[in-house]
A and B are shown apart, each in its own frame.
Chain A
């Protein structure tokens, strides 16, 4: 069964189209990265996935069922986002006591271990926490719920590098012990690279790319060589990025070169290196204005 399946999923707010005809499906038991620029529609997609809002048109199914207002599906997922609001009256310990009541597979031991690791005091009220601490606590709830579908919307927002590293480590360890479908939206693809199995790239509400992490790692290559060699070579290629450095040129292109092309480049001393996943995503979602700014610089 597919964990998430969407067909022509569209969401509009007033007249603004935030998600535009998204069609893809996600297998169960994978860690999937939802990548996109600000305003790409990542949070809206996750909110629809979590059954908080409805699509304007199209269809979304989670574990084969419609998700909006469906307690059967809602009980199997958890959605963690930046401005989560737990009851103001409740202390962290109260919230953690509610966890096993709401979530069937709640892991109280993991919750306690994470609280200790993050240095969170359970007698404090959620409303009194700083932004970073709220993110930490949200992570505690998200991971301890052990929900079959875990939706993490920018979970590391406000966390310092050390805590972010801890989080990725814990997430991976916990996922290995209890495989489930985890969708993480983030700007920091570089940090997530080694964690993700699949990547969905959306831009302006549209699906740009849906590949396995392995495929995306090999998606693009840089060609670094003399302009008179590289420029004619890339004429019929899908150019992701271009940089002129005097007589040299660095061109980022899609990695679909034949053996003969590779040997031609090799013979002409053109260096070939892989483009990082993060850079591929940046180039694929780059707006026209960005390039103009680059050109001026």
Chain B
């Protein structure tokens, strides 16, 4: 009972601590992303003023841009979070390897969810001005292929992809920062092996397993979450016996 209480307290504190440190990154990224549709809106208006005869179109580009931005940001953030300095700053508090591993998984889920939700919210900033323009300008073309169903599907798939990418970076970071030379050399060898057809086929097989065409979104989800969990379990192996040394 005492163990589980301590574990729970430590886990809640650790996730709060981690989320606090991600807060600033999120604010900066969302400010930049939020500025894009506004700039786009200003460009549309100025185009209209300078070229009254031009056709003006608008599409939902923020979703794509936002998705890739968040994918890269979170992948880098979780890679960096496994470096020695970061680990030292986390282990000043009473946590153990299990709290660290589970905490990182929870934080990753929360960050990925916040990222996709945030980017989806930015869609409003993009669509609302475009709708206003459409009301004002009769020849304005608003391309909006979004339906509730494909939005939900896209939301889920984006969430899965961000989770996968962040988990992969976390996994690589966990091994890389502990065995820099071995992992560096291994990465070089694996990259060079791709010139062999059999190895290239194996890489393609792995890629297709996750990203290939799927008959259903359920199958895709099952596969990608299996890989995500596997990456977190593999990341836990070096963590379990890791010493915290400056």
Contact = CB atoms under 8 A, between A and B. Distances in A.
Interface of A: 47, 51-54, 69-72, 74-75, 77-78, 83-90, 94, 98, 101-104
Contact of A71 (B20, B95, B244): B95
Contact of A52 (B7, B12, B16, B244): B244
8 nearest CB pairs, A to B: A101-B13, A75-B6, A74-B94, A52-B244, A85-B89, A102-B13, A53-B243, A71-B96
Contact of B85 (A51, A85, A103): A85
Interface in B72-96: 85, 88-96
Given A72-B2, A85-B88, 11 more contacts: A47-B245, A51-B96, A72-B6, A74-B96, A75-B6, A75-B9, A84-B92, A85-B92, A98-B17, A101-B13, A102-B13
B246 to A, nearest CB: 6
B102 to A, nearest CB: 11
A89 B21 contact: yes
B89 A71 contact: no
A90 B93 CA distance: 14
A53 B244 contact: yes
24 contacts: A51-B96, A52-B243, A53-B244, A53-B245, A54-B243, A69-B96, A69-B240, A70-B96, A71-B10, A72-B6, A74-B10, A74-B94, A74-B95, A75-B9, A77-B94, A85-B85, A85-B89, A85-B92, A86-B89, A87-B89, A89-B23, A90-B21, A98-B16, A101-B17
B99 interface: yes
Contact of B12 (A71, A78, A83, A101): A101
A32 B131 CA distance: 72
Dominant secondary structure of chain A at its interface with chain B: loop
Contacts of B7: 71
Interface in B187-246: 240-241, 243-246
B60 interface: no
A73 B13 CA distance: 17
Nearest to A80: B92
Contacts of A102: 9-10, 13, 93-95
A75 B21 contact: no
A53 B88 CA distance: 12
A196 B98 CA distance: 36
Given A72-B3, A94-B20, A86 B97 contact: no
Nearest to B15: A101
| A78, A86, A87, A88 interface centre (most CB from chain B within 10 Å) | A87
Given A71-B99, A94-B20, A103 B94 contact: yes
A77 B241 CA distance: 20
Contact of B17 (A69, A71, A87): A87
Contacts of B9: 75, 101-102, 104
A48 to B, nearest CB: 10
B24 interface: yes
A71 B13 contact: no
Which of A86, A101, A104 has the most C-beta atoms of chain B within 10 angstroms of its own C-beta?
A: A101
From DSSP, what is the main secondary structure of chain B's interface residues? helix
Contacts of B85: 85
Contacts of B246: 83
Contacts of B88: 85
Contacts of B244: 52-53
Contacts of A54: 241, 243
B100 to A, nearest CB: 10
Contacts of A71: 3, 6-7, 10, 94-96, 98-99
B91 A52 contact: yes
A89 B94 CA distance: 19
Nearest to B89: A85
Contacts of B24: 89
A87 B96 contact: no
A39 to B, nearest CB: 16
Of residues B2, B20, B85, B97, which shows the largest number of chain A Cβ atoms within 10 Å of its Cβ?
A: B20
Contacts of A69: 96-98, 240
Interface string B1-34: 0110011011011001100110110000000000
A98 B92 contact: no
Given A52-B91, A103-B94, A98 B13 contact: yes
Contacts of B89: 85-88
Contacts of B240: 69
A263 B111 CA distance: 80
A51 B7 CA distance: 16
Contacts of A88: 89
A272 to B, nearest CB: 47
Nearest to B97: A69
A214 B9 CA distance: 40
A84 to B, nearest CB: 5
